[in-house]
Every structure is written in structure tokens, then in C-alpha cells.
Homo-oligomer: A and B are copies of this chain.
Amino acid sequence: MSYPLPPATVDATLAAIRFDANGLVPAIAQQHDTGEVLMMAWMNAQSVAETLATGRVCYWSRSRQSFWRKGDTSGQLQYLRELRVDCDGDTLLLLVDQAGVACHTGRRSCFYRAATADGLSTIADVVTDPLDLYPLHGHKHPTT
């Protein structure tokens, strides 16, 4: 996919999305080649349009009420390979190429805890020290 996508595509995509009462839609990020589900976050119409224009994923941070250009703070950029819309238009699937790690804990994926017979188990290792991702924030998650 080369960016920007045509304005007609952006318009058709936005028209197919049913944003919620807060003007947001959940977006699932999946690594395009491995199939690993990395994270889920929210987008508004402007962040969808920006993402389709630039090819770099931009979410909307509900806690900060601002654009969240994935990787601005951590350096772990997320590049869009394809944006998909579900049947009801109320969820997006982003096929991405994630540089480094998606999770603020320094793991590739945010989904690193699994319900097992032994309880809720951690099933993925930290691959990047969060202090290297957020040197000014310590271990605090700057965006959600």
C-alpha cells in the first residue's frame, strides 16, 4: 500500500465506520506477517483519516484526549499495511508492521497474561526495558 490513500478511499472508509457516542471506534492492531495480535486502542475520524494519509498509525488517547501517534514517545512506530472495517462498521482491524514492541511493559504484545489451570499466568517475556522506552516517565504508561 502506498500513502496517502486517495481522498475517495478515506471518505468511503469513514462513511462505513459507525463511531460510538464519543466519536470513537476500537481498532485492533495485528502484526501483518506473523498474525500476532499486538494491542487494541481507539481512533476517531481524524485519526483514521491521518493514518490512511500517512501510513503511520495514529490513535486517539481517551485518557489524554489527544492524538496518540504510536511511537512518538517510545520510538516504537507502527506502520499501516492495511486497514479493515468489520461487518457492522463498529470495529477496525489494522494490519501493521510494528517496530520493536507494542506494549508499554516492553513486551511485543499487550496480551501477555493467560487464564490457565494455574491462574492468570504471564506467557510472554519483556524484550525491551520500559526504562529505555520511556526514560522520562519511568515505568508509567504515558498514553492509553
Contacts and interface: CB of A to CB of B under 8 A. Distances in A.
A30 interface: yes
Q: How many copies of this chain sit in the oligomeric assembly?
A: 2
B28 A120 contact: no
B115 A88 contact: no
Contact of A87 (B28, B52, B103): B103
B28 A116 contact: no
A85 B34 contact: no
A76 to B, nearest CB: 14
Nearest to A102: B87
Nearest to A118: B9
A5 interface: yes
Nearest to A116: B9
Given A1-B116, A9-B117, 17 more contacts: A5-B115, A9-B116, A9-B119, A12-B119, A13-B120, A30-B37, A34-B35, A35-B35, A37-B93, A40-B86, A82-B115, A83-B115, A84-B114, A85-B114, A85-B120, A87-B112, A93-B111
Top 9 nearest A-B pairs by Cβ distance? A35-B35, A86-B110, A84-B111, A93-B111, A40-B91, A12-B120, A87-B110, A83-B115, A13-B115
